[in-house]
Structure 1
Amino acid sequence: MKTNKFLCVSLAVLVAGIILSSFFTGPKLPVTSFKFPYKRAGLTERQAAAHLLNRFSYGATPGQVDSVVNMGLEKWFQQQLTASLPDDTLNQHLKAYDAINLSNAEALSKYPQGFVVTNMAIKDSVISKDSVNKAVNKKAYNDTLKAYMDRKGLKPDGELYKQFIDQNILRAVYTRNQLQEVLTDFWFNHFNVSFTKGECASFIPAYERDVIRPNVFGKFDKLLLASAKSPAMLYFLDNFTSVGPPAPAPAKASAKAKAAPGGDMMMAGDAMMSAAKPAGNDMMMAGGAASKPATAKPAAAPTDMMAMAPVTPTPAPKKPQAPANKNVAGLNENYAREVMELHTMGVDGGYTQSDVTQAARVLTGWTIYPISSYGYGSNMKGLVDKIGVNNLAAKGFVHEGDFLYTPNRHDIGEKTVLGRHFDGKGGYQEGVDLLEMLAHHPSTAKFISRKLAVRFVSDNPPQSLINKMAKTFTEQDGDISQVLITMVTSPEFWNSKALREKTKSPFELVVSSVRSLNADVQDPYQLYNWMNRMGQKIYYYQAPTGFPDRGQYWINTGSLLNRMNFGLALAQQRIPGVKVNLAALNNHHEPESANAALITYSKLVMPERNLDKTYKQLVPLLNDPALADKVNNAAGKAQSPAPSAPDRPTVGAPGDMATMSAVTPEKPKPMVKDSPKTTAQANSAGNNMLAQVVGIIIGSPEFQRR
């Protein structure tokens, strides 16, 4: 009896010990319940709600602070992490955009790039080769090509890009799942691709929709792998051209063996890649000769689609590169370098140039499945046709969606990356293993955590916070949602030094303004033009770094004046297709004076802030009848080079939105200046006063903070 009792007690102790030890040695369970420590920072619940909305949305809409308080701050954040709220209003706005859900193949088919249309027209004898870009009568030439496109049911590729830009702005303005859109912007910027590089432009809509947005809350390694295999990234960083040395031929290879299907797949693929080049363009940028997007030489900036004045860009800094390899087929290190420096470990992550070269060898053979019969996406068509779609797997190919791994373009030699040995026999799996290793590297945990903290906390986040986030990143297998929970439940997030310490980018400024005024947006492209004027041409940033996320990048004299001018234009109804009802924001109660309007609307637009200093700054501007003209003129004089990249795509793609087609652009239209007098003639003096007050608030330094 005593023996049995002893055994029972021993067993219980053993089980308890195992359970207890698992808390210290096993993987930590995901956090599902949490509390925000904002009271320790001296914040009220309403102030904390406003801070959450400033960081994890594109700004509060009227009354939203009350909604978050009533729901509970933690519940609101948890709800945002699921991104499951119905979006009826947004979906209604998106109904007009029929191109945003197209697959890559459908986009290329319906919206072919300009050189594709030109080549098709030449082949069909509609135009002559000698007339391309040399037509004496440009109007007749354009009319001929337009009629040809109409007969074929083709649309200018610029229409696809315009729809994509419009839907992006509408999502940011109207979605109830705000955090998902904020993170989509963050991760797209992290894994940046650009319209400036023509090969990938048509693939960017599907890239954001299918690669970025669905993965913003998940595991980092899944997002990394999805981006690596996407046509947009494969083209943007040239990995689709990267080829290992040919395998040594057998000592006595028969002519019959060489001619067999799949016998010389690399040669067939290279031949097709060469044949796919559009006339007059080195589309493939093959081998080491491919220049990185960050160092591509920009062409002269064309005039914007909506007749905006061109802005001279500041070129991205160049990086030293190894001498270019002039061979048509060869190793390309662009993606391997950037996947370490920008996507995972960071520039100080501990890798060497040798690691970059070895990683590039591991990733050879990663290319694009033939998406269309013409132009970009067609270069492997001959190879696939030769082998047969049903025979690909048997021959060692990997076909997943628009991705294709080609074994005979893979470097089968031994490689070592960051001390890990690859024997060359793993094929496609070698690349997967490499990316998994990078995704789980300790340097990656620190690098990603710092970038998230910079985006959501401050330009210089405390190291203590980064360490906590990196620890969670490692323990939770790169679970992005868990890293965000660690960040928002840390005292550092709520510290008074972090409040309103982030500066809004032009995109954030425009969207938050529209949301704060509850504006009705019918033509989002007009807002895009204002973003461009303020220095952020979304989807056109040429460097793989993406737009910098620091206030000093955006703020200078010219940009501040342009921001004030935007605020005045918005409030005074001078942005076509964007309507605001200022009286409705205050329940149709008309303020007694400009000073009263300043106080009332400042609280509506910037809830839960101490605005005493702001009032003193803005009062002198209230009653100047020519303020809008003065700001507009001053902005023109103070305009400095915008930080955004050149807007003419390189390597085969046409130019700015107005000319992204086969149609040759004619003389650009002059910029149309805003005229506040138009509104003054249409509205009463009281409405003009209120519009000027609200415009000043939107353009104020305090509203630039988030």
Structure 2
Amino acid sequence: MKTCCITILLAGCIVILTCSLIKPSRFPYKKAGLTERQAAEHLLDRFTYGATPAEVDAVVKMGLENWFQQQLQADLPDDSLDRRLSIYSALHLSNTEVCHIYLPGFAIRSMAIKDSVISKDSVDRAVDKKAFNEQVQAYMDMKGFKSDQDLYKQFINQNILRATYSNNQLQEVLTDFWFNHFNVSFFKGECAQFIPAYERDVIRPNALGSFDKLLMASAKSPAMLYYLDNFTSVGPTPPPPPKKPATPPPGDSSMNMMMMGEASPATTKPVQTLTKPQPGLNENYAREVMELHTLGVDGGYTQQDVTQAARVLTGWTVYPISEVAYGSNMKGLVEKVGVNNLAAKGYVRDSDFLFTPNRHDHGEKTVLGHVFPANKDAASGYQEGVDLLEMLAHHPSTAQFICRKLAVRFVSDNPPQSLIDKMANTFLKSEGDIRQVLTTMVTAPEFWNKQAVSSKTKSPFQLAISAVRGLNADITDPYPLYNWITRMGEKRYYYQAPTGFPDRSNYWINTGSLLNRMDFSLALTTGQIQGIKVNLNASGVAPKDAQSALAVYSKQLLPNADLERLRTRLIPMINDPALLTSVNAASTKAPVPTQDKPIAGAPGDMMFMGAGNEAAGNKTATAPPPTQEVARATPPPTNNKPLQNPFPLVVGILIGSPEFQLY
């Protein structure tokens, strides 16, 4: 009996202790002077893509801490979202399947030339482009190939739908954050096909896990290996084995050696050892993994560390996942070694990743003072790379760098160092547990400081998605919305630099961008964006005039905003005849054309389609930059009648207002 009681008591203590570890303390928003509703809105602003109607009330009802814990688990059912995504057949394809179905244009053209469907000369100089395109399309249909542009469009569409409709909002926000941190780009043709699986299999599943696992998964992904060129990085070619000296024939040995083309011992000169650049060493990934992914530019590493780290990571490449084009580089090597012999000979395969010991630098290296001894053991080379990445992932400079970026994203453009130190301390103690770091951040007083509330500017993507969510809009075709996001300055997945988009307000805001944002707001609320249905009367409340409309819709879109201040600032705009006239005048103009397909390194026809522009002589082709000049014209409604009431204009002005631009 006594033993049983002790057991129950211990079990109870364990439960209490476990709960205390999992459940954070009460959020200290009251000490910052925030009401519970204000705190709920701040929480939703930071960890979702904007509150849907009545969501603030729901968070208050369930408790802010409970809502946050629920979001940290990221396991809420998403049946409605899944139904929307079910029409996109490419979303679940492996990289290998993508490479067999969505071949880049240059690979399809090469195969068509080989099969005598088209001539090589017609690729660049086809007189009838339409006929040429039809020939290529017929060949694709016969072979079961699809345009890679369709793959990119499906991927972009699913991103918009997930951000808009997922119940696991924090996971989607963090997926965006980590993708931007470990940026890859459609602009680089080699990696473009592998980006959908990169986000799906590398970023999203690890967004709330351990940082080292996220780092390791990104390092091994074909998208990153191609984007930063580590798939080509090899160590020095090992010297050939020494030849056995030939047995000299009878007679004078010196003369015989001279006759054989060898110098006599008396005339042999000592061999000079020259330090030469190592052939094939590529430092791109080694540099960025330190500067951008882990330590930060001020993380205490040197150029020598970069070179040495690049040597450690030689031999990290892509397993052959394609017969042609990208992903086929190691095909010959694997066939030569034999698939069944890889492990025995020191090769390491992890899904689409391959470590090749014959391309690894087995010499001694030193990175950040850590010595990687010379070792001829084939299997040891892979472990060196793992050890290097683990060392970087758990470095104190990494803790500071990552926590600063998280604080910038979720708190303010200039977060207090006191908050970063708290988060970094948790990062080191928890070995990079992202959930625990976020919990430390959200339970800190600095997160709830009134100066941090509504202090950050929404990116075009955040603005568009928060507007759609705030209006409970129904998206039937996401791509026109993507075109508007691009017009406002954020061409997602096409940012070329490995830095990703800057996360600061002044990057997003200038005179032109403000005009484009207002145009988007008016286009959305007046029903002028194809593929989106907005019902402004969904609440059943019919405002009597512009002022009452402002009161109704500001409560829905900006529940804690100062209504009197909004009235003072916005009513003059609403009553401005010039603005209403400009919106009405748009109905008499021709529709503004929208790009219905993404461009990944191609002008768009079959002659140049795909991520690789073979005709231009580029094996590593990049797409042309997005058009810089954007016409400031609001696309017209589907009918040609002037607007009959000002209510869409009221809502559009609310979405375009400074209050809605901030989060």
Aligned residue number for residue 703 of structure 1: 660
Task: Out of 613-622 and 74-83, give the one that drifted further.
Answer: 613-622
Deviation at 1:626, TM superposition (A): 4.7
Do the aligned partners of 1:572 and 1:679 also contact (CA within 8 Å) in 2? no
| 2:660 partner letter | F
2:348 paired residue among 388, 393, 398: 398
Aligned residue number for residue 591 of structure 1: 543
Aligned residue number for residue 251 of structure 1: 242
SS at match of 1:189: helix
SS at match of 1:47: helix
Aligned residue number for residue 559 of structure 2: 607
Do the aligned partners of 2:426 and 2:436 also contact (CA within 8 Å) in 1? yes
Aligned residue number for residue 344 of structure 1: 294
Do the aligned partners of 2:519 and 2:632 also contact (CA within 8 Å) in 1? no
Aligned residue number for residue 313 of structure 2: 363
Q: Which runs of 5+ in 2 are unaligned?
A: 1-16, 246-275, 587-597, 617-625
Do the aligned partners of 1:364 and 1:411 also contact (CA within 8 Å) in 2? yes
CA distance in 2, matches of 1:358, 1:158: 39
SS at match of 1:416: strand
CA distance in 1, matches of 2:45, 2:562: 15
* Matched positions, count: 587
Deviations 1:148-192 (A, max 9, x none): 111111111000000000000000000000000000000000000
Is 1:40 the counterpart of 2:31? The answer is: yes
Is 1:558 the counterpart of 2:549? The answer is: no
Deviation at 1:611, TM superposition (A): 4.0
CA distance in 2, matches of 1:196, 1:416: 34
Do the aligned partners of 2:441 and 2:447 also contact (CA within 8 Å) in 1? yes
Is 1:503 the counterpart of 2:460? The answer is: no
| 1:215 partner letter | N
2:367 paired residue among 413, 417, 441: 417
Aligned residue number for residue 141 of structure 1: 132
| 1:557 partner letter | T
| 2:495 partner letter | Y
| 1:352 partner letter | T
Is 1:567 the counterpart of 2:521? The answer is: yes
CA distance in 2, matches of 1:137, 1:680: 37
CA distance in 1, matches of 2:244, 2:180: 49
Aligned residue number for residue 209 of structure 2: 218
Q: Which runs of 5+ in 1 are unaligned?
A: 1-22, 24-28, 255-323, 635-646
Q: Where does 1:672-691 land on structure 2 (aligned, <5 Å)?
A: 674-676=634-636, 681=641, 685-686=644-645, 689-691=646-648
Gap change, CA 1:498 and 1:145, over 3 Å in 2: same
CA distance in 1, matches of 2:47, 2:184: 24
Aligned residue number for residue 253 of structure 2: none
Gap change, CA 1:629 and 1:356, over 3 Å in 2: farther
| 1:691 partner letter | P
Aligned residue number for residue 488 of structure 1: 442
CA distance in 1, matches of 2:605, 2:165: 25
Deviation at 1:627, TM superposition (A): 1.9
Gap change, CA 1:626 and 1:572, over 3 Å in 2: farther
CA distance in 2, matches of 1:612, 1:378: 64
Aligned residue number for residue 621 of structure 2: none
CA distance in 2, matches of 1:629, 1:330: 63
CA distance in 1, matches of 2:202, 2:209: 12
| 2:506 partner letter | Q
Do the aligned partners of 1:561 and 1:631 also contact (CA within 8 Å) in 2? no
Q: What is the alpha-carbon root mean square deviation over aligned residues?
A: 2.6
Is 1:375 the counterpart of 2:325? The answer is: yes
CA distance in 2, matches of 1:632, 1:545: 42
Aligned residue number for residue 151 of structure 1: 142
CA distance in 1, matches of 2:584, 2:114: 50
| 2:301 partner letter | Y
Aligned residue number for residue 314 of structure 1: none
Do the aligned partners of 2:519 and 2:634 also contact (CA within 8 Å) in 1? no
Deviation at 1:590, TM superposition (A): 1.4
Deviation at 1:591, TM superposition (A): 1.1
Deviations 1:21-79 (A, max 9, x none): xx9xxxxx955332100110111111111110000000000000011011110000000
Do the aligned partners of 1:565 and 1:628 also contact (CA within 8 Å) in 2? no
Aligned residue number for residue 639 of structure 1: none
Do the aligned partners of 1:229 and 1:403 also contact (CA within 8 Å) in 2? yes
| 1:494 partner letter | W
Task: Give the TM-score, by structure 1 length.
Answer: 0.80
Aligned residue number for residue 75 of structure 1: 66
Deviation at 1:520, TM superposition (A): 0.2
Aligned residue number for residue 111 of structure 1: 102
Gap change, CA 1:253 and 1:432, over 3 Å in 2: farther
Do the aligned partners of 1:58 and 1:173 also contact (CA within 8 Å) in 2? yes
SS at match of 1:218: coil
Identical positions, percent: 66
Aligned residue number for residue 191 of structure 1: 182
Do the aligned partners of 1:568 and 1:628 also contact (CA within 8 Å) in 2? no
| 1:615 partner letter | R
Deviation at 1:680, TM superposition (A): 6.6
Gap change, CA 1:594 and 1:191, over 3 Å in 2: same
CA distance in 2, matches of 1:46, 1:147: 59
1:233 paired residue among 224, 229, 232: 224
